[in-house]
Amino acid sequence: MSPFHLAFPVHDLDHARRFYGEILGCPEGRSAPEWIDFNFYGHQIVAHLAPGEARASHHNAVDGHGVPVPHFGIVLPMTEWQMLADRLKALGVAFVIEPYIRFQGEPGEQATMFFLDPSGNAIEIKAFKDIRSLFAT
């Protein structure tokens, strides 16, 4: 798979650096006074300083939860997902949707969790017991 690239607004680059670098463990790449590249599990995400542009999300109902829209994230192997969920809980990260198994017993059953970065950007981390069910209907 080719890496994707995502640029998104943040209110404060120091907060973004701490959150993505220290809390999520994403190595930092290039940076300038207005932006920072991060290696987000092999993908390039770029936090751009844009005060006032990051905003509260809309929520859509999915499996009885209010899923924030827009959001971005990654699909991890189940063991990595669990380790990250445990790490985020231990660090006191507030979840929009606590880690749980969604669509249990159905096609596309998945582990998921949602949280916000310091600028309010919503992030979803998910995992599948069987990655072949990623696009199951």
Residues 66 and 36 in one domain: no
Residues 63 and 33 in one domain: no
Give the residue ranges of DSSP H helices in the chain.
Answer: 13-16, 78-90
pLDDT digits (tens, 9 = 90+) for 83-112: 999 999 999 999 999 999 999 888 888 999
Structural domain of 96: 58-133
| C-alpha torsion sign, points 61, 132, 41, 101 | positive
Residues 89 and 128 in one domain: yes
Q: Which residues pair with 65 in a beta bridge?
A: 62
Q: Residue 88 belongs to a domain with what CATH number?
A: 3.10.180.10
Residues 69 and 114 in one domain: yes
This prediction's pTM: 0.92
Q: Please state the domain count of the chain.
A: 2
CB 20 within 8 A of CB 34: no
pLDDT digits (tens, 9 = 90+) for 25-71: 999 999 999 999 999 999 999 999 998 887 767 889 898 889 999 99
Residues 119 and 65 in one domain: yes
Q: Residue 20 belongs to a domain with what CATH number?
A: 3.30.720.120
